[in-house]
Amino acid sequence: MGDRSGWTRFETDVAAVLERLSEGDVVTYGEVAAEAGYPGAARAVGSLLSRLSDADLCWWRVVTATGRLAPRCETEQAKRLRAEGVEVVEGRVRGLSRYP
C-alpha cells in the first residue's frame, strides 16, 4: 500500500473495508460506508474512490445499490469484474445479491 500518513480517519476506515474484500466480491457504496462505521455516507465513499481510483484499493468491486458501475470508469470496472468472474450486463452487475 502507498503512504497513508496524510489520510483522514474516514479514508483509512474505508480502505480497511476494501482490503477485506476478496476476488469476486462486489459491495455497494452504502455497504462500505456502513461497515466502515459511517452509515449514510455512500456518496462520500464514492467521492473518495473517484479521487483515489489509481490507489491500491479495489475500487472496481464497489457499485451503486442498483448494481450500476462507476461513471466514467465503466469499461475498466467491467473488465476487472469480469476477470474475477462477476457477471456484468449493460453497465450493471447482474444478480448483485449473489456476491458477498
Q: Where are the domains of the chain?
A: 9-98
What would the grid cell of residue 91 be?
Answer: 453497465
Report domain 9-98's class. mainly alpha
* 1, pLDDT greater than 60: no
Confidence of residue 96 (pLDDT cuts 50, 70, 90): confident
Confidence of residue 5 (pLDDT cuts 50, 70, 90): confident
- Check residues 42 and 96 and name the one with the higher pLDDT: 42
Mean predicted confidence (pLDDT) in 83-91: 95
pLDDT at 54 (0 to 100): 64
Confidence of residue 55 (pLDDT cuts 50, 70, 90): low
Mean predicted confidence (pLDDT) in 17-44: 96
The whole-model pTM stands at 0.90
Cα dihedral: 79, 89, 24, 95 (round 10): 170
What would the grid cell of residue 66 be?
Answer: 442498483
What would the grid cell of residue 27 be?
Answer: 459491495
- Check residues 18 and 54 and name the one with the higher pLDDT: 18
